[in-house]
Each structure stands twice: as C-alpha cells, then as structure tokens.
Structure 1
Amino acid sequence: MRISTTVTFYTILCFLFLVIAAQSTAQYSSVVDDFEGDGTISSWEPDDLIIDTAFPNPLVDASNPSTTVLRYEDTGGTYSNVRFTNAVNYNMTIGAVFSLKIYIPSDQVSGSAPLQLSLKLQNGYRQEPWTSQTEIIHPVLLDEWQTLTFDFNSGDYLNFDSNSPEPIERVDLNRVVIQVNGENNNDPVIAYIDDLNYDGLIGYDPDQSESVFDQLVWSDEFDGEGPVEESNWHHQTQIPNPWGWFNEEQQHYTDELTNSYVEDGSLFIVAKREDYTDQGLMREFTSARLNSKFAFTYGRVEARARLPFGVGTWPAIWTLGKNVSEAGAYWYPQYGTTGWPACGEIDIMEHWGWNQHYISAALHTPSSSGATENTGGLYAADVSNEFHIYGMEWDEEEIRFTLDGQIYYVYHPQVQNASTWPYVEDQYLIMNVAIQNGVDPGFQESAMEVDYVRVYQSTVNSVDENERDIRSAIHHYLDGDALMVDNDSKESIGISIVDLQGRLLQKQIFLPPGLQEVSLKDFTGPFILQFQSSSNTWGERIIR
C-alpha cells in the first residue's frame, strides 16, 4: 500500500444501482437497454456530447419498430463518447458478445471522419480507464438501421496496451464505451442507438470456483482475548524515514494495546487521534501495523473483515516480499536484501475513507516503477458495517483477487520477468490502518475488525498425475512422540519440519521406501511437514 490510486465518483443514481447489484450472486445474465424502460442499465454517461435516452425513433421500420431510442449528438468533441459502468465485471472467459442497432442519417454527418462504430471495454475503476481498454471497430452504413455484433472471443480486437492479455482471458472489465466515427477529430455527427445487449457471464461463475489451494496451512482465528498472538504477529513500529512513514502517512504505529487487540473473536486495529511522540517525532494519530511471522510462495489468502469509517482512514491487507530491505520489518534482519518494489507487493484490499464503498486491489512491481498501474476495484455494499471476505490467489501464472468469492481483477502479465513478476519468492502478510493527509477534523477513532486470516496451499488434487502418484504413496500418522511415515513410492522422499512462522525446526532428512520413524519429541504445537520428491515439494499441517 505504498502508493494509492484515486477513482471518480459516479452519479448517485448509478451508485445506488452498483450497491444493490453488487449484492446479487454472479451469474449468466444479460446487460440490456431497449431505451423504452425495460433495460438493466441505470445510467448512461455522455463524455463531451449530448444524449437523450428516450428520443422518438426517427426511422420506424421492420428493422427497428421501437418507439424510443438513444440520440447521440457529437458537436465536435475530440474524444466524444457515451458509456455506462456495470456493478460486476464481465467474465470474458465464457461468452463475451455485445450487440446493438445504429442508425446514422447521411444529412447528419460532416467532415472526413471514418464512418464507424467502436465498442470499447475498460476497467472503469482505474484512474486512467483507457489504459485497460480493448475495443472492436465496425464500419457503419448510412440511412438505415444496422445491427452490429462485437464478439470479443473471436473478433478482431485492439488493445490500448500491447501488454494486456487477450480479451478472452480477462475478468477485470466493467465499463462499456460507445464511440461514433472515431476520435482525434472535431467532425459533428448525430446518430441513434438502440437495443444494446450483452449475453454472457457476469462476474464469477461458482462452477468455475474450485480452488487448487484447498489445504489450510496457516491461520489466525483471533479466538483469544487481549494482545495479538505473539507467535503469529510482529508489531512494526520503526519509522522508515526521519519524517515518518511513506505516502505522507500521519500516524505512528505502536504496539500499544489501545491500537491492536483481540476481543470477542476478532482482531481490532484501531486508528485514533492522540498526540504521540516516538523516535523523536510527534504525531497526532496512532495505529498499528502487523507483520505475519509466516511467509509463503503461492497460495490463497482469505481475510474476513469490516473496515473503519472516516475520511482520511486507509486500511489495508497486503503482502510484501520477505526479502524487502525495510528496517523494522519482521523479516528484515535475516532476509532483507531487496529494495521496493523489486521485492514485489500484493495489495489484497485497500480502502479509503473518502470513497466509502469502494475497495481496491493492486500490484507494485519494477515494471510500473512502483506506481499503481496494475489495479482493479469495485463498489461493495456497506463495507464498514458488514463483514466481507477479501481474497487473493497466487500461482505461477497469475494473481486473482476476489470479494466474497467473486473474482474482480486478475494480474497476468504476458511477459514474466523480474520487472513484471517478482512473485517467485516468499511473501508475508501485513495488516494496518494508516491515516492520510486531509483527515476529517472531527475524526477521533475507528477500527478495522478482522474475524480471521487464512492461508491455503495445494494438496494432492492440484498436481499432475505423476506427482499425484508419488503423493498418494506417502502415508503418515502420529504414534506418541513419533511421526510414522510409510513411503510406498519407488524413490527417497525428503522431509523437513517448519513452524507456522516458516522457521526451520528439523532440517531435511531423506526417507527411503518403506516404513520410517521421525522423532517429534522436541516439537510442540502445530507445525508443517515439508515433503520433497524428485519433481516437486508440498506441505501438510500437523497438529499434536
């Protein structure tokens, strides 16, 4: 969360639609508008043009007997268009076909602009939505209603960013932009549009939701009372600069019980207004920043939380590379060799109090110079009064972000290298509530409440057939202070033991085929067995 992004508010009417629609279950659904009151699109937004969404049809015929249509009047704007933003992203992986009717009278065209219609898809929550754009352009005939179909699965598309994936791989697009006669011209035109339709998948298909990360390997359920569990969390309180924290944050992070504690089955991270001097610097706010003492490569993270109120609050659930060279971070003394953003940052959830119902995910990498370019977000209902589950899945190819199980953004760089994909080594979790500049003068305190944090990794069901055969041949059970390992494979298997914070308890030993005994008498509490075969490694959690 070192660098944030901003978004633009939509109209109140559109916002209400987003909040209501975002609560519904993602499904196969149509996005339609017949401009006669039967559509699902609540708000069309003109950009440098004039529209009328209930204009009398100027050419009623067999091709279009509709009574009313949308009138599109471009008076000469350079980038004139009309658009709408959907509450839930389009899942382009299964069906991505848009269609509409258009009529352009020949006496309403001037200049030399091309006779064409562009349908563009964008991530409307980016600060610069057009950078996410993919579009299809069709020629248009004059003086007749014409039906145009935009098939993003098989049609000829253009990506604004050549590094963007093919449309069929995307689930981060939620805005439709319609543009008549192109851009970069000032030629006036009047057109009429009707019967826009999208027939495909909206959001996340539960039938596609089987995660390969199905083995819980680390969690904190926050079931105790009092301070946070010391074996799970480190309070990061050391300021990284003489002037304080990055991003002009206005708080000190403390290890005080008033700023972070466990109560009634939840963790509370409390940002509050109070004068506090530490490390020679006085601040008017305090909060907490927790580092997990567990780090991992690849897996699924889920955190169930509700977020603070107040303009100026900035809660986040995120990760940094274990190798980050940041003094005061838990892993820094032993592993801190790499600067930011080369260590990689994954923002699972960010929220800004000035934009109460919006949540965001982002990646910070050297390819973006740390800036917030690779980002997605959506509006969510009542994030401060209600719990939501914020999730992230990270594998060798991509990182997916979810809200309540619904994928809303995927990071999948076409070229993976140290600049675009530093996510090849362990990351650790961070939870904090920062205070930004411009905090509400009346703000006193507010908390992020976290019900649980869980990390899952894959089991035998997520590996290839050869590895599945090896894993299924390994059986183990507890016998007093001994772990009995029955190796029915044809090769020796390496085994080591680490605690839930990733610290090595038992260096690797190799077990030949047959029944072997591993002593556990020196180990207490839950830990993770790490197995290694000739082709892969995997872990399993053991509770004694």
Structure 2
Amino acid sequence: MSCKLRAGAAMVAVLALVLGGTAQAEAPADPTVMATTFADEFNAPAGTPVDGSKWQLETGDNVNNHERQYYTTSTSNAVHDGAGNLVITARRENPGNYQCWYGRCEYTSARLNTAGRFTQAYGRFEARMKLPRGKGMWPAFWMLGDNMGQVGWPQAGEIDIMENVGHLMNTVHGTLHGPGYSGSGGIGAAYNGPNFGDGFHTFAVDWAPNRITWYVDGNAYQTRTPADLGGRQWVFDHPFFLILNLAVGGYWPGDPDGSTVFPQQLVVDYVRVTTNSGGAPSGQITGLAGKCVDVANASTANGTPIQLHDCNGNAAQNWTIGGDGTIRALGKCLDVNNNGANDGAAVVLWDCHGGANQKWATPAAGDIVSISGNRCLDVTGNNPANGTRLQVWTCAGTANQKWNVPR
C-alpha cells in the first residue's frame, strides 16, 4: 500500500495542532469498565457540517500518492444526512475550481481528522460504514501518531484500520506502517467478505501494548506484535489521532475509468473509541514513607489536588491502571494541570478526555512517568507529611519518585 500523507500547507497546519490536542468525550463514573473516550454518532440534522469540536477538515491535494482529488471544507463533500450518518462524497468536477498537482482538479472529496481535538494510546477504535464502489475509489479509516510534527512519517507510525479499493468490493485491508515497513512494505493482511458497498459493516482494532488486532463485523482476522517486524522498531506506544477520508485515484487503486459512476459516497454511521480498562489492575499506589496517593478530601471536582496521605482504603486512594495509559480514581483521571510539562507542574484530578497530559507510563522500576512531559510523579520537597502535594519533576530515581503500582 502507498503512504496516504499529503504534501502542502494544510498538512503542516494539522501537525502543528497535534501536540496540544485535547479530547472532547467524557468517561463514565466507573473506571473498572470500558470507558468511552470519543464518540460521534452523526445524529445532527440534514445539511449540518462536520462537528468542528471533534474533527477538522483538511484541504488540498496529494501528490505523494498521485491521487486525483482535492479535499475541501464544503458540505457538498462532507455533511450530515439527517438519518444518523455522515456522508463523505467524491464528486467529478468539470471544469474543476481547484489546482491539483496535475493541473485542474478533476474531483473533490473530504478528509477529516481529530488532531488537536482527540488522541489516545490503546483501546478499541471502531467505525460502522458503507463503502463507495468503482474503479479509483479509495476510502480509509486510519490513525497517525500524534508526534508527527516532531519525527515525521513513518517514524510516528500509522495504523490503517480499514482501507478498500473500489474495484475490489469484497476485500478490505488492515496495515501497520513504521520505520522500515512503510508504503508498499507495510505489515498487514486482507479480509475477504461480502460486498462492502451493499450495506453497513463495522471495522475496528483492539490496540494494547505490543499487540493490535483487526476486526470486521466482530471477526478477528489478524493480530500484530513486535515479533512480526523482524527486529524493526515498534512505534505503536503513544497516542494517535483518527482520520476518515475518501480518496480518488492514486498508485494503489488506479484512476477512475469509464465504468466509475459519480458521485460516490462513504457513509459513516458512527465512530467510537473506548479504553481497554475492563479488568485492569486497581488498588492503592504507595510511595514515600509507605503512604498513599490520595485525592484531597475525596473530592471529584476538576482540579482537586493529588496528595500524599496515610493509607486508609477509601475510594480516593483506589486507583485503576488503564490499558489506555490513564490512572483513574473516583471516575476521573490523574492529570498534569494545564498540560504542564515543566518541573513543578501540579498533578490534579480531572475529567478523562484522552489528552497526553493524562497518559502515564508505569515501568517496573517504580516510576510513574507523564507522557506529555517525560517527567516523574514526585512528592514535593521530599516531604512525607500528610497533605503534601504531588507534582511532576525531572526523573531522578529518588525515593520521592518511587511508587508501588497495582499490576
């Protein structure tokens, strides 16, 4: 398969938003069950544009793949249909109003992503869709690493949940792209099933540390782990953002021909993301002087400080270590306040939203490391007194940064 990245200013703008991304969905109160972190059911009235709080619309063409479409922000290319669906429409333009790499653009379409709005590492990522058909159609539901702006592609990683080429309507593909296994060298497999243009079907991945499994209509058809990469780097260990698009033409599907009927539509019933926290380890997190990580006054208000306190077994000290990188208590998440990435940034309780400032690594060495700033959970001033606030600080391996975490 070919890389689906675009050249041009629009993609640069997307990448600039990635690092500051936040999510919009709330998690349920019970952190021991699967938590919905993102959902768009597309239930807006007919003619309503894409929800800008969840998605942004990219613009431009794609010379990298020799695709033929120009992506627009127009509701003629992406709009709610009033029947519970988002419809992404590829149209033939004659004459075209946009300039593409090959001249006047012959087609328009739409590409949506959640960069700057929602990112997540690990969980279940699912969409229910009906695919377009015809030579040259290339619909995709996929993800890119949120560090694209720092390391580029393919180092940031790409997870293709579903791709299809419209002249092969009974086959969809799931693929990983990373350093040394990108483009046509991606690691993946095909799923052969019914005609995916005849009705709606669900396409999903379950993503856990060092393991990704692909599904079509609930049927698992491949699982990939680092062992499949032949010693090459596994880069699927950090948050990714979502992308939905309908491309026209390109190296892989080929260009439309006389048999292709326009317009063509990718119809999306829903997109949903949940955590993998069901059955996750939970209990007390103990540290300096054998004391517990505690939510001050057992308050569930956003911004409540996290402190050190004598262990007492109450819910304010019962933490769930989620498979999505979150650490949860009282139905909310351990959060670095205001996305702080500097020494001394306060650690608080906050609504779970999937942002990088709520992602933590818990290595066997006993550190609890904030993904957003690569700093360790730290007892302020090395003070074991009850009520001492917790913060993030440069990891030093000291006693006030060592924790016993449920596993």
Q: CA deviation at 1:231?
A: 0.9
CA gap of 1:361–1:446, structure 2 versus 1, over 3 A, is same
Quote the Cα distance in structure 2 between the aligned partners of 1:505 and 1:260: 36
CA gap of 1:489–1:271, structure 2 versus 1, over 3 A, is closer
Match of 2:56 in 1: 234
Candidates 286, 289, 306, aligned match of 2:130: 306
CA gap of 1:477–1:272, structure 2 versus 1, over 3 A, is farther
CA gap of 1:274–1:367, structure 2 versus 1, over 3 A, is same
Match of 1:360 in 2: 173
The reply on whether 1:410 has 2:223 as its aligned counterpart is yes
Quote the Cα distance in structure 1 between the aligned partners of 2:303 and 2:241: 31
The reply on whether 1:288 has 2:110 as its aligned counterpart is yes
Quote the Cα distance in structure 2 between the aligned partners of 1:422 and 1:2: 19
Partner of 2:88: helix, strand, or coil?
strand
Please give the per-residue CA displacement for 1:270-303, whole angstroms capped at 9, x wherever unaligned: 1111143335752111100111131111121011
- Size of the alignment, in residue pairs? 297
Higher percent of residues as strand: 1
CA gap of 1:409–1:255, structure 2 versus 1, over 3 A, is same
Match of 1:221 in 2: 41
| Contact persistence 1:342–1:419 (CA under 8 A) | no
Quote the Cα distance in structure 2 between the aligned partners of 1:488 and 1:221: 35
Match of 1:495 in 2: 334
| Contact persistence 1:363–1:372 (CA under 8 A) | no
The reply on whether 1:262 has 2:84 as its aligned counterpart is no
Match of 1:344 in 2: 157
Match of 1:297 in 2: 121
Quote the Cα distance in structure 1 between the aligned partners of 2:131 and 2:240: 23
Q: CA deviation at 1:527?
A: 4.3
CA gap of 1:265–1:426, structure 2 versus 1, over 3 A, is same
CA gap of 1:231–1:308, structure 2 versus 1, over 3 A, is same
Partner of 2:126: helix, strand, or coil?
strand
Structure 2 residue identity aligned to 1:286: T
Partner of 1:246: helix, strand, or coil?
coil
Match of 1:51 in 2: none
CA gap of 1:337–1:526, structure 2 versus 1, over 3 A, is closer
Match of 1:11 in 2: none
Q: CA deviation at 1:429?
A: 0.8
Match of 2:256 in 1: 439
| Contact persistence 1:340–1:370 (CA under 8 A) | no
Match of 2:139 in 1: 315
Structure 1 residue identity aligned to 2:123: G
Quote the Cα distance in structure 2 between the aligned partners of 1:213 and 1:487: 18
Q: Give the number of the structure with larger relative contact order, counting CA–CA contacts within 8 Å between residues 6 or more apart.
A: 2
| Contact persistence 1:312–1:353 (CA under 8 A) | yes
Structure 2 alignment gaps of length 5 or more:
5-31, 287-291, 307-314, 320-326, 371-407
Please give the per-residue CA displacement for 1:422-477, whole angstroms capped at 9, x wherever unaligned: 112221111101111331324211111111111111326223xxx44449997866
Q: CA deviation at 1:309?
A: 1.8
Partner of 1:343: helix, strand, or coil?
coil
CA gap of 1:474–1:403, structure 2 versus 1, over 3 A, is farther
Quote the Cα distance in structure 2 between the aligned partners of 1:424 and 1:528: 14
Quote the Cα distance in structure 1 between the aligned partners of 2:303 and 2:180: 49
Quote the Cα distance in structure 1 between the aligned partners of 2:279 and 2:265: 39
Partner of 1:461: helix, strand, or coil?
coil
Structure 2 residue identity aligned to 1:496: D
Partner of 1:414: helix, strand, or coil?
helix
Identity %: 29
The reply on whether 1:381 has 2:198 as its aligned counterpart is no
- Rg larger for: 1
| Contact persistence 1:319–1:346 (CA under 8 A) | yes
Alignment of 1:479-518 (within 5 A): 487-488=316-317, 495-496=334-335, 504=339, 509-510=346-347
CA gap of 1:477–1:390, structure 2 versus 1, over 3 A, is farther
CA gap of 1:274–1:495, structure 2 versus 1, over 3 A, is same
Quote the Cα distance in structure 1 between the aligned partners of 2:90 and 2:224: 31
Quote the Cα distance in structure 2 between the aligned partners of 1:435 and 1:399: 28
Match of 2:267 in 1: 449
Structure 2 residue identity aligned to 1:221: E
Candidates 196, 207, 223, aligned match of 1:394: 207
| Contact persistence 2:336–2:347 (CA under 8 A) | no
Alignment of 1:137-286 (within 5 A): 214-225=34-45, 226-239=48-61, 244-263=62-81, 264-275=83-94, 276-278=96-98, 281-286=103-108
| Contact persistence 1:213–1:300 (CA under 8 A) | no
Q: CA deviation at 1:399?
A: 1.1
Partner of 2:147: helix, strand, or coil?
coil
| Contact persistence 2:141–2:244 (CA under 8 A) | yes
| Contact persistence 1:461–1:468 (CA under 8 A) | no
Q: CA deviation at 1:536?
A: 5.4
Q: Give the TM-score taking structure 2 as reference length.
A: 0.63
CA gap of 1:340–1:487, structure 2 versus 1, over 3 A, is same
Alignment of 1:321-336 (within 5 A): 321-324=145-148, 336=149
Root mean square deviation of aligned Cα: 3.8
Q: CA deviation at 1:398?
A: 1.6
